[in-house]
Amino acid sequence: MDIVTRTRADEALLEVSELRTYLHTRTGTARAVDGVSLRVERGESLGLVGESGCGKTMTALSVMALVPSPPGEILPGSSIRFEGEELVGAAEARLRRMRGNEVSMIFQEPMTSLNPVHRVGSQVVEALQLHRGLRGREAAAVAVELLAEVRLPDPEVRFGEYPHQLSGGMRQRVMIAMALSCEPRLLIADEPTTALDVTTQAQILGLLSDLRQRRGMAVLLISHDLGVVAEFCDRVAVMYAGQIVEEGSAQEVFHHPRHPYTQGLLASLPGRRSRGTRLAVIPGVAPSPNLWPHGCRFHPRCAFVMDRCAEQAPDLLPIAGSERTARCWLESPETAAAREDTRA
């Protein structure tokens, strides 16, 4: 059966539910992604932010079916649906087609995915041959166009250069060009602009917004730059210790964070006012994925910790009167009621 006929209007473009990606290492099992659920609609942009090492890249690699195995394993019960079609356990040929034509990814570290011994141009051409069947001169011409579209200076000259001859941000733009070469319906961008100055970054984000509007391309944007997420994304999901701890519209989450982790994150932002002072940090260290804390995974570092937090793990609880959720006992009806009482 054709995928298109199975697609229903109410289906999300991407729906991940209860994703568990574990890594079986020499020192035990790391539960890197541990029950992540998220939805990306057509043409939407979802931001994914969170602590370094909390499992963002692993979540993205799971969707791409690129988790290294061994040591990685996607656990039974995990589900990743693209336009309604289950991808967990799908045949490798199907996954390859998905990666080439429907979903593409900009990887966090460009040098890990650019081949150092091949010229930049031939790598873009190869992507175009593979995904769009273009050949020879036509492929080369489209490649140069793509490189110009991502604002690479002297695209014809850069075409013939090797990755090491490019600056960090130029390599990043080559990667972006390659990811866009297949005209994906979903772009997963893992820290796509970390090596770009803010003016070039604004141009690249503008290009991506444009593609969202023109082609209905959806974007899953992983970034530590909260300003970028606030400006580019409709919704944002905050991750901590292998789980999503808060989700909602980017504006609401950043202006009225509910989870103590999100609050701590926002309090750490540097800037004019912080000059000459120490920055606020969330106390303690990130927990080990081999041994997540019992109860709420954030409780050992939380300023609002209650007895219950150490014993029982909270679910993602809806926040009354909004479309948002937070994984925090402070959002439970009883606690919320008690809070109202003490206020009264």
Partner 1 sequence: MIAGEAEVLLEVMDLSMHFAARDGASGRVRGLVRAVDGISFTVGRGEALGLVGESGCGKSTTARSLLRLLEPTGGRVVFDGVDVLSMDARALRAFRGRAQIVFQDPFGSLNPRLTAGGMLEEVLQVHHLAGEATGRRRRAVELLELVGLRAEHAGRYPHEFSGGQRQRLGIARALSVEPEFIVLDEPVSALDVSVQAQILNLLSDLKADLGLAYLFIAHDLAVVEHLCDRVAVMYLGKIVEIGPAERLYRAPRHPYTKALLSAVPSLDRKSEPGYERTMLTGDPPSPMSPPSGCVFHPRCSHPKKDEECRRDMPDLEECGEGCFVACIKERSRLGGGA
Ligand X SMILES: Nc1ncnc2c1ncn2[C@@H]1O[C@H](COP(=O)(O)OP(=O)(O)OP(=O)(O)O)[C@@H](O)[C@H]1O
Q: Which residues bind ligand X (CB under 6 A)?
A: 23, 25, 30, 32, 52-58, 68, 71, 108, 164-170, 195, 289
How far is Cα 187 from Cα 316, in angstroms, rounded to an integer? 26
Residue 289 touches which of Mg ion, ligand X, partner 1, none (Cβ within 5-8 Å per kind): ligand X
Closest CA to 46 of 229, 190, 265: 229
Q: Tell whether residue 197 is a contact of partner 1 (CB under 8 A).
A: yes
Which of 45, 104, 200, 325: binder of partner 1 (CB under 8 A)?
Answer: 200
Which of 286, 306, 310, 338: binder of partner 1 (CB under 8 A)?
Answer: 286
CB of 182 or CB of 239, closer to ligand X: 239
In the region spanning residues 168 to 187, those forming contacts with Mg ion, defined by CB under 5 A, are 168
Inter-CA distances, 97 with 11, 15, 91, 103, 131, Å: 21, 18, 10, 9, 9
CB of 5 or CB of 52, closer to ligand X: 52
CB-based contact 246:327 (threshold 8 Å): yes
In the region spanning residues 132 to 191, those forming contacts with partner 1, defined by CB under 8 A, are 151-154, 157, 159-161, 165-170, 172-173, 191
| Site stretch for Mg ion (CB under 5 A), options 90-98, 164-172, 230-238, 280-288 | 164-172
CB of 240 or CB of 329, closer to ligand X: 240
In the region spanning residues 37 to 56, those forming contacts with partner 1, defined by CB under 8 A, are 49-53
How far is Cα 119 from Cα 154, in angstroms, rounded to an integer? 15
In the region spanning residues 136 to 155, those forming contacts with Mg ion, defined by CB under 5 A, are none
Lookup result for tokens 């990043």 = 172
How far is Cα 52 from Cα 45, in angstroms, rounded to an integer? 21
Inter-CA distances, 17 with 59, 63, 103, 236, 336, Å: 11, 11, 18, 16, 28
Q: Find residue 259's DSSP bridge partners.
A: none
How far is Cα 192 from Cα 106, in angstroms, rounded to an integer? 6
Pattern 244-283, partner 1, x by CB under 8 A: -------x--xx--------xxx-xxxxx-xx--xxxxx-
Which of 57, 181, 201, 243: binder of Mg ion (CB under 5 A)?
Answer: 57
Q: Find residue 33's DSSP bridge partners.
A: 21
CB of 139 or CB of 201, closer to ligand X: 201
Handedness of CA 106, 110, 112, 118 (dihedral sign): positive
Applying CB under 5 A, which residues contact Mg ion?
A: 57, 108, 167-168
